[in-house]
Amino acid sequence: MRYKWANVKQPAWEYPEVYTTMTMHYDQIKVEANRAAGQVRLEVKTLRGEHYESIIKQGVVLREKDVKTGALTDLTDILSIYRKDFSSLPDTPLLELIGGNYGILTEFLGTAERIVVKEGRAATRLWKLIKGIPAAIRRGMANLWRNFRYYNASARPADFVDMALIAGATYAAFTYNFDYLNAGFTLCVMAALTGLVDWLIRKREPWLLKVYASVALGSVAVYRGYFFQ
């Protein structure tokens, strides 16, 4: 496959240079570059609607994000799938700025037929997988902490009022006849209503920690009521 990279200049933007192409599976690949700052932004939009980005400066990954959900997450396994696509970028200096992350080559070799990604033997891959488990756990814990700080920093006083309303309505529904199903459905409905208030009246995105916590607790309550009550 011969990749057709489109190159666009946008001098007034944070990333003055943009490369875009499409994979054989019609996923969109984008590389944005700020050569003066030594920084690149890798972006993947899949045909299924997934959207990921990674910001790298001088070979060091600064941030990885699931753009669709807004969550900071480890994209090593996901972006490694596209290492051959990114390696086809016809710009060796930009490949060097990526610094070999996600298995992307640091030198332009030409068409995809000339790009060989060494997989190694099964035993070698298994050993690398086992050796990488502690680092993966550390990255996962760090991502959880970054996500918590991100969601916590986005909270507003109105969100705590919403939490109080959700908790009060759920408690009232449960104490009415001590039914976990009623409590779970009430919790989910109240969370959805407060989310709509955020969208339609407050004109902002809902506080995701409020939504996630409500849906999780509501699901537990519905499960408890359906199977054990």
State pLDDT tens for residues 147-161. 556 555 555 677 778
- List residues bridging with 42 in a β-sheet: 31, 54
- Which amino acid does the sequence have at 35? R
- Determine the distance from the C-alpha atom of residue 138 to the mean position of all C-alpha atoms in its chain, rounded to a whole number: 17
What is the average pLDDT score of the chain?
A: 80
| Local confidence band at 114 (pLDDT 50, 70, 90 cut-offs) | very low
The CA distances from residue 35 to 11, 85, 181, in Å, are 12, 21, 57
- List residues bridging with 36 in a β-sheet: none
- Which amino acid does the sequence have at 71? A
- List residues bridging with 16 in a β-sheet: none
| Local confidence band at 143 (pLDDT 50, 70, 90 cut-offs) | low
State pLDDT tens for residues 2-41. 678 888 888 878 899 999 998 888 899 999 999 999 999 9
State pLDDT tens for residues 166-216. 888 888 878 877 778 878 888 888 888 887 887 788 777 776 677 777 778
The angle at the Cα of 160, spanning 157 to 161, to the nearest 5 degrees, equals: 90
**Strands 60-66 and 51-57: what pairing?**
antiparallel
Contact 44, 27 (CB under 8 A): yes
For the packed helices 133-153 and 122-131, what is the interaxial angle rounded to 10 degrees?
A: 50
pLDDT reported for residue 118:
47
List the structure tokens of 160: 């705590």
The pTM score is 0.50
Per domain, the residue ranges of the chain are 6-117, 120-153, 157-228
